[in-house]
Amino acid sequence: MAAINLPIIDISNPHDPSVGKAMLDAAAKYGFLYVASQSTDFSPEDVETAFGLSKDFFASPVEEKATCRITPNNRGWSGMHVETLDPEHQRIGDFKEGMNFGEFIAGKAPQPLPPSLSPHEPTLDRFTTLCRKTCNRILTLLALGLQVDPTFFTTRHDPIHGPSGCTLRFLHYPSITSPETAFYKHDEDVRAGAHSDYGSITLLFQQPGQPGLEILTPEEEWAGVPVDPGQSSNGQGQGQEGEYAFPPILVNIGDLLSYWTDGLLKSTVHRVVFPLSEQRAENEQDRYSIVYFCHPVNTTELVPVPSKIVDAHREGRKESEDDKVGFGGGAGYLVPGKRALTASEHLQARLAATYTY
């Protein structure tokens, strides 16, 4: 198993060019980085409360969850094995269940909520607002790193310009000893198949003691990504001075942003497994994760970002073969005479490949 050392970036000042450079370097090298939890817009209570809602929802009766089953608009509940992230290699769908929420509008969910969640609509709305704010910091820093207008990405993600594919997702992966994983075959199955994400950036919240994420290194080896690389908390949710902290948020670049930057930013392939530490654990836990997929406004045309750094990358790449980006990224070649894809066309093409509704 390869080891990888992802940086933990403090995003409290999104206007600091040196932080922008560090962010860009990590995004171009690994496609993954952590942001320090205390430097984001979330309080530990926000994160704890959201995980609590997720657990309550997944523990609710299946008939209730079934009332909000996922539909082709990508919103709602998907049960065990409904999603297959790597259909070419998986004999069975992912060992997980998920709940997707579309963009909240004026405090309201854009879809029916099940009984366990409907009283908590304001809490869910607040959480998505904080996700958006934190994404705006990251997008501002990436623009600084690319030496374009610092608002280049944030204006194109601003909901005042129209709807987008932004999605909040709760995920539940049963533990290794759960009856639901009884027929899981190690070395053959995965909890979530290898894939790259579809949007611009993704935020991933994980919980101490619930590992599982792996990323594919440039050497094509799987590397485990720790939940808590050890600097923000002691693994029990306690910060160094004893105050409650949550593990850093893992951020990754999605296919769309990779495409938009002509492959400079990497949309890295990742998956979820039972790592060896989990297979040997005495108190193995279910894994709960919360994911926020950030997307530009649907109508955004993905004309390559007008950055000298992107131009230089494009020039350099012509001489090499190295333009493999994620699974669905690909570099955003602009075919002469054709207009660029829009953000929503890009997303629809990627979604069509992975769900059996």
Ligand X SMILES: O=C(O)CCC(=O)C(=O)O
Query: Nearest-5° angle of CA 282, CA 287, CA 289?
Result: 150
In the block, residue with structure tokens 């494009």: 314
Residue 2 phi, psi dihedral angles, 5° rounding? -75, 155
Give the one entry of ligand X, Fe ion, none that residue 204 binds, where binding means its C-beta sits below a cut-off of 5 to 8 angstroms depending on kind: ligand X
Task: Please give the residues from 245 up to 284 whose contact with ligand X meets the rule CB under 6 A.
Answer: 270, 272
Distance in angstroms (rounded) separating the CA atoms of residues 133 and 135: 5
Task: Verify binding: residue 289, ligand X, rule CB under 6 A.
Answer: yes
C-alpha radius of gyration, the chain, whole number: 19
Binding segment (CB under 5 A) for Fe ion, from list 71-79, 92-100, 143-151, 189-197:
189-197
Give the one entry of ligand X, Fe ion, none that residue 213 binds, where binding means its C-beta sits below a cut-off of 5 to 8 angstroms depending on kind: ligand X
Distance in angstroms (rounded) separating the CA atoms of residues 153 and 266: 17
In the block, residue with structure tokens 């009884």: 182
Task: Please give the residues from 193 up to 212 whose contact with Fe ion meets the rule CB under 5 A.
Answer: 197
Task: Please give the residues from 127 up to 156 whose contact with ligand X meets the rule CB under 6 A.
Answer: none
Residue 287 phi, psi dihedral angles, 5° rounding? -100, 125
Task: Please give the residues from 160 up to 219 whose contact with ligand X meets the rule CB under 6 A.
Answer: 169, 171, 192, 197, 204, 213
Which residue, 144 or 204, is less far from ligand X as judged by CB? 204
Which residue, 26 or 204, is less far from ligand X as judged by CB? 204
Number of residues that bind ligand X (CB under 6 A): 10
Q: Which residues pair with 8 in a beta bridge?
A: 34
Distance in angstroms (rounded) separating the CA atoms of residues 208 and 277: 13
* CA nearest to 290, candidates 17, 61, 48, 125: 48
Q: Nearest to ligand X by Cβ — which residue?
A: 289
Interacting residue with ligand X among 27, 253, 291, 305 (CB under 6 A): 291
Which residue, 157 or 350, is less far from Fe ion as judged by CB? 350
Which residues lie near ligand X (CB under 6 A)? 169, 171, 192, 197, 204, 213, 270, 272, 289, 291
